[in-house]
Amino acid sequence: MITTSSVYASVFSDPLARLSLGIGATFGALPTGWQFAFAIAFGLVVGSFVNVVAHRLPIMLERAWRLEISEATGQASEADALPARYNLSVPSSACPHCGHVLRAYENIPLLSYAFLRGRCSSCHARISLRYPLVEFAGAALAAAALAVYGPTGEALAAFGLTAALLATSAIDAETRLLPDSLTLPLLWAGLIVNFDDTFATLRAAVAGAIAGYLFLWCIYWLFRFVRGVEGMGYGDFKLLAALGAWLGWAALPQIVLIAAVTGAVAGLVAMWSGRLRFEEPLPFGPFLALGGVATLFGGVPIFHLLGSGG
């Protein structure tokens, strides 16, 4: 008998299985050293693109919001100094301080930053340390995905998840925003990937998406009822829902615990060093992402310990 689940499996699972087998057969035939060299190079390139997303996407969203306000109010939108056509592909990368368009040798991940000694070749303004850190993180995450999952489609999917988490973390850290254009596609991607039970069963993925959103939604309203202020943004709900869709409901307690502990430690250190005032909001997205990455590569030992203890 043909069921709905068998139809879904034929549509989604078979392509994923063929992709995994194809990658395993071709890429896996290379020597291990070459595999990691390719993964690191690929991670550096993706990390460089993540920097573009982190810098440009908030600007693109702000432009879209200003246009919506202008259309709703009938007032002219405020102009900025950027080109009219501005997206993730155009214009070419340039110094945000003086507008100097980067040459090819100035746009090589990590190497260009070291060659230029962290400064623009034209105006000599400092280049944000975020750029080499994100590129290095991209390389490290690609290598970690290969080390944990081997030369398979699962490794490629795992790196895709971590690259998206890297982008959301960079944006949230600088702008306190978690764009729907990243979190919502990430949620749907997790459900699609898990049609073949890649990282969790489909049932666990759906439950994880629901539980992830509702858990932080309840915390948000409880905090607002007790303190009268908002304790977090809706983007955090969607990001945890996306992590639940990728890793399943059983991963959520560990993700939240890691995020809460690391966030508390980072907040205390920031206040002690004077970089954060008391009760000043701290972006929670990067810590959720950290919990997600740790769980993706390390499993859910906390869940197993709680289960064995019960």
Taking only the tens place, the pLDDT of each residue in 13-53 is: 555 566 666 666 777 888 899 999 999 999 999 999 999 99
Residues 282, 155: Cα–Cα separation, whole Å: 31
Largest CA distance in the chain: 69
Taking only the tens place, the pLDDT of each residue in 57-107 is: 999 999 888 888 888 888 877 777 778 888 999 888 988 888 899 999 999
Residues 125, 288: Cα–Cα separation, whole Å: 33
- List CB contacts of 236: < 8 A, sequence separation 6 or more: 178, 216, 284, 285, 288
DSSP bridge partners of 94:
101
Residues 272, 276: Cα–Cα separation, whole Å: 8
DSSP bridge partners of 126:
119
pLDDT above 70 covers a percentage of the chain that reads: 89
Taking only the tens place, the pLDDT of each residue in 221-268 is: 888 888 777 778 889 999 999 999 999 999 999 999 999 999 999 888
Residue 206 is which amino acid?
V
Q: pTM score, two decimals?
A: 0.88
Q: Residue 310: what pLDDT?
A: 39
Q: Residue 159: what pLDDT?
A: 97
